[in-house]
Amino acid sequence: MNIVPQIDPWMRRRSLPAGGERLFLPLRDGWPVRLEHWPRRDPHGSHVLIITGRGDFAEKYAETLHDLIDSGWGVTIFDWRGQGLSRRLGKTPMHGASPIGARGGFDVWLDDLNELVTWTTDRSGGPTVAMAHSMGGHLLLRHLAAGRGGIARAVVLAPMLGLTAPPLGPGIARWLAGVMTKHQRGGDFVLGGGPYEAGVAGSSRQFLLTSDPERYRDEAWWIGQFPALAMGSVTWGWLNDAFASLAVLTARGVPEAIKVPVLALIPEKDGLVNSKATRQFIARIPGGETIAYPGVGHELLREAEPLRSSILARARDFLGEK
């Protein structure tokens, strides 16, 4: 089937590319995870696994999916267990991840990722590279440090390698998350959090994520079409598990064990994750490199043009290197 490139910028952000396959893959425990898969049109090209952040869903990456697929790349993207169109966790669908802590913290997602990498490499039938955002970048780096394999090169975008945890700050937030989890409050939203509310262009949240108000509106547009995509803020249990996983990932010898080339593309100053911690971590990887961009938000692939396209081009150049 020939894929006709979608050239209207608005439609590229608000439609998934043609020619793909959607499936709900049962994982080792039967939990269904939503996958979108497009085979590569160039037999000599790469296949990229896109690993999304917390609260994300495949549709938020529609513009990037169009760009990669139009260029002949093969692409697989999935919604993490507990979010997007995958089966949800928590006391309500908005809570997303509350029971994870009782079953092994981020290690559950790490095992999920291992299965999804294996599925992607088997289905693509060729070299697989990865592009991962925020929490997805964190889990990809844990996957690589554990030597699980399947990924030849990796780009991490604003990876979660340290939390700013506003308004409390990381020290108090980590202590309080532990207290709340110990007292069976891990399933509750964090202080100031709650169910999903549509973002307002021009708000402080917009500028945390992107300087582009139009791309910021895309998330609310998609959720308006498919309300099941909505997810609320993090829970105390998620926050407690995140700090525990960061301690594992940043321990002595862990980043040094990553054997594949890694490029980190980050905001010079990120309001959600710690850019300084990212620079320090990537410097410990033998094949690590960091590029920082001033004046951008946390979601680099939803930034304003021409910066968004230049960031994606840099990622593609790195992932396409032999």
- Per-residue pLDDT, averaged over 158-177, amounts to 92
| Tokens encoding 277 | 């911690």
pLDDT in tens, 234-278: 999 999 999 999 999 999 999 999 999 999 999 999 999 999 999
Average pLDDT of every residue of the chain = 93
Instruction: Classify residue 2: in a domain, yes or no.
Output: no
Asked whether residue 193 carries a pLDDT value surpassing 50, the answer given is yes
In this prediction, residue 98 carries a pLDDT of 54
Instruction: Classify residue 248: in a domain, yes or no.
Output: yes
CATH of the domain at 102: 3.40.50.1820
Report the C-alpha gap between 103 and 113 in whole angstroms: 16
Instruction: Classify residue 94: in a domain, yes or no.
Output: yes
Instruction: Classify residue 250: in a domain, yes or no.
Output: yes
Instruction: Classify residue 210: in a domain, yes or no.
Output: yes
Instruction: Classify residue 71: in a domain, yes or no.
Output: yes
- Per-residue pLDDT, averaged over 206-216, amounts to 96
In this prediction, residue 43 carries a pLDDT of 78
Instruction: Classify residue 1: in a domain, yes or no.
Output: no
pLDDT in tens, 20-32: 999 999 999 999 9
Q: Is the peptide bond before 32 cis (omega within 30 degrees of 0)?
A: no
- Per-residue pLDDT, averaged over 139-154, amounts to 97
- How big is the chain, counted in residues? 322
In this prediction, residue 94 carries a pLDDT of 92
Q: How many domains does the chain have?
A: 1
> Which residues are CB-neighbours of 287 under 8 A, at least 6 positions away?
258, 259, 260, 261, 262
- The closest alpha carbon to 142, from 108, 110, 101, belongs to 110
Asked whether residue 3 carries a pLDDT value surpassing 80, the answer given is no
In this prediction, residue 182 carries a pLDDT of 92
In this prediction, residue 101 carries a pLDDT of 45
Residue 203: CB atoms within 10 Å: 12
| Residue-number span of the structural domain to which 144 is assigned | 9-320
Instruction: Classify residue 4: in a domain, yes or no.
Output: no
Asked whether residue 11 carries a pLDDT value surpassing 70, the answer given is yes
Question: Which range (190-194, 219-223, 265-269, 286-290) has the least confidence?
Answer: 190-194
Report the C-alpha gap between 53 and 73 in whole angstroms: 21
127: left (phi over 0), alpha (psi -120 to 50) or beta: beta
Which run of H or E residues covers position 2? none
In this prediction, residue 160 carries a pLDDT of 98
